[in-house]
């Protein structure tokens, strides 16, 4: 057992008392090779031992007096800490700069997911229309899956329902070039502008006829 864990236990009357106050088993504490990040704040509160001693790898200050950049060195630990701070309403301790950036990144990733799935749908619709002799269950499965996942994404984020229409032209231009590469047909064989409405693209029953 690490000396700091033993010290923490002694301050509250032993491992059983520490386990009760933390809501964990004694066996769990005996198995700790370090105090779990999500338990650090509670141990600090219960024992008065500063977190810089409980987890010096995360909270000890460097030569400049600044705490280490947890976000850069241990992303999962950073996420866990931010979640714990939010749950504890300890807003002043949040890493707001990086937290804001992560939330913005999540928003962009939602849009990227829609773009990617829309592009896959469009390419398969083009191939379905221009290579009817090669239609397969795999193509049908792809259309079903991508439409279902897009529908779920838009249901979960209603504010993005207009986004497929916003990027339809751009995604079609890319799908057109990809379809040419996959089919061996010249890109000029396909319409320059998307021949399908966004409603048709997302309609689980829509399949285009040959040109």
pLDDT for 163 beyond 90: yes
Q: What predicted TM-score, i.e. pTM, was given to this entire model?
A: 0.63
Q: Report residue 187 as tokens.
A: 């890109």
Q: Which domains, ranges and CATH numbers included, belong to the chain?
A: 3-94 (1.10.260.40), 108-202 (no CATH)
Write out pLDDT tens, residues 21-55: 999 998 999 999 888 878 888 898 899 998 888 88
Mind giving me the DSSP string for 72-127?
HH-HHHHHHHHHHHHHTT-GGGS-HHHHHHHHHHHHHHHHHHHHHHHHHHHHHHHH
């Amino acid at each position: 057992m690490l000396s700091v864990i033993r010290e923490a236990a002694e301050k509250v009357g032993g491992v059983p008392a520490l386990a009760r106050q933390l809501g964990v088993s004694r066996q769990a504490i005996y198995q700790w090779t370090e105090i779990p990040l999500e338990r650090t704040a509670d141990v600090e509160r219960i024992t008065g031992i500063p977190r810089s001693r409980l987890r010096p790898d995360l909270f000890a200050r460097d030569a400049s007096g600044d705490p280490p950049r947890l976000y850069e060195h241990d992303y999962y630990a950073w996420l866990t800490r931010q979640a714990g701070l939010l749950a504890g309403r300890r807003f002043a301790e949040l890493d707001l700069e990086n937290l804001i950036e992560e939330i913005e990144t999540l928003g962009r990733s939602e849009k990227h997911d829609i773009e990617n799935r829309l592009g896959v749908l469009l390419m398969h619709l083009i191939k379905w229309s221009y290579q009817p002799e090669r239609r397969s269950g795999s193509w049908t499965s792809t259309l079903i899956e991508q439409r279902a996942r897009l529908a779920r994404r838009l249901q979960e984020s209603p504010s993005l329902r207009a986004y497929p229409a916003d990027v339809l032209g751009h995604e079609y231009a890319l799908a057109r070039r990809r379809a040419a590469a996959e089919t061996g047909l010249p890109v000029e064989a396909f319409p320059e502008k998307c021949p399908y409405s966004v409603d048709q693209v997302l309609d689980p029953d829509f399949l285009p006829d040959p040109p």
